[in-house]
A = this chain, B = another copy of it.
Amino acid sequence: MVLINGMEADSVSVHDRGFLYGDGVFRTFRFENGIPLHWDLQYAKLSSDCNALGIDCPPESRFREDLEKFGIGNFVVKIIVTRGIGARGFLPEEGMVANRLVMTSPLPENPKREIVARLCDLRLSHQPRLAGIKHLNRLENVLARSEWRDPGISEGILLDLEGNVIEGTMSSLFFFRNGRLHAPDLSRCGVSGVQRKRVLEIGRRNGIETVTGHFGIELLMDADEIFLVNSVIGLWQVRRFEGIDWDKGQMSAKFREWLQ
């Protein structure tokens, strides 16, 4: 099911700037028994990302109306907000009205808890103006995810051009080392998602010492535990990465429990 500005539809105008330039943002999350999980955080992030691009985010009430139409089913929900339909050229017209898309897809079957990951060849570029934003310019993710087709490998881990560990192709990355939670700095690249925010808050509430910074691959390889989060998969512990096995961790299991 796809709703565009509240109406059932399956296509967008070829003049929509989301299509022409990737000029928009998105969110993906679970909808369980009629409840959009962590909706307040999802809308806050959507609104913040729109704001960062100068897009006039539709009001929260509109999305609530859309989501109510989905009844009490269980889905993955994706929300897209584009800057809207405009004349040719990169300059957005003044007073543009954003377009709002809400669409559902099936929840993944047999959710995993432990996965094999690989290191991607593609390195993320630095663009402080776009860092953290979940925008529609996702070719880096497409190229990185295209590096493997082995279904036994669930995720690829991305470094930036300087060799710092940043994230997974579709997930936020954390690792434990010497008892401390390590969260890569996302001020120059990467997507700063809702589950990442939750992990950091839960860590703080539970007295977990946390460091945010630039971490090279050698620190990641020296980690006691590595885990990945996003709003659809929950938490995946990385049990194998670059030919090395990691033991089942206690901290990953704890964070999974705290997140639920």
Interchain CA distance A140-B127 in the complex, whole Å: 9
Residues of A114-130 contacting chain B, CB below 8 A? 122, 125-127, 129-130
Could you tell me if B21 and A21 are in contact, using CB atoms closer than 8 angstroms?
no
B10 x A10 contact (CB < 8 A): no
Pick from B15, B20, B169, B170: contact of A136, CB under 8 Å: B20
> Is A194 an interface residue, CB under 8 A from the partner?
no
Question: Across the interface, do A103 and B14 meet the contact criterion of CB distance under 8 Å?
Answer: yes
**Which of the candidate stretches A34-42, A59-67, A86-94, A219-227 sits at the interface with the other chain?**
A86-94
| A142-150, A175-183, A196-204, A238-246 - the one binding chain B | A142-150
A161 contacts the other chain (CB 8 A): yes
**Chain B residues with Cβ under 8 A from A140's Cβ?**
127, 129-130
Residues from chain B with Cβ under 8 Å of A139 in the complex: 21-23, 53, 130, 135-137
A80 and B122 CA atoms in complex are apart in Å by: 25
Q: Is the CB of B137 within 8 A of A138?
A: yes
Cα A130 to Cα B142 with chains together (Å): 12
The reply on A206 being an interface residue by CB < 8 A is no
> B142 and A21: CB pair below 8 A?
yes
Interface check A19, CB cutoff 8 A: yes
**Extra pairs beyond A14-B80, A20-B138 (17, CB < 8 Å):** A11-B13, A12-B12, A12-B14, A12-B19, A19-B19, A20-B136, A21-B22, A23-B142, A90-B141, A90-B146, A90-B169, A91-B149, A92-B142, A126-B126, A126-B161, A129-B143, A135-B139
**Contact residues in B for A130 (Cβ distance below 8 Å):** 125, 139-140, 143
Contact A53 B10 (CB under 8 A): no
Cβ contacts under 8 Å, A91 to chain B: 145-146, 149
Q: How far is the CB of A226 from chain B (nearest CB, A)?
A: 20
- A51 on interface, CB distance cutoff 8 Å: no
Is A166's beta carbon under 8 Å from chain B? no
User: Which chain B residue lies CB-closest to A88?
Assistant: B105
A149 to B: closest C-beta gap in Å: 7
Q: Tell me the complex Cα distance, A161–B17, Å.
A: 26
Residues of the B chain whose Cβ atoms lie less than 8 Å from the Cβ of A125 = 125-127, 130
- Across the A-B interface, the 5 shortest Cβ-Cβ residue pairs: A22-B22, A137-B137, A90-B145, A11-B11, A125-B127
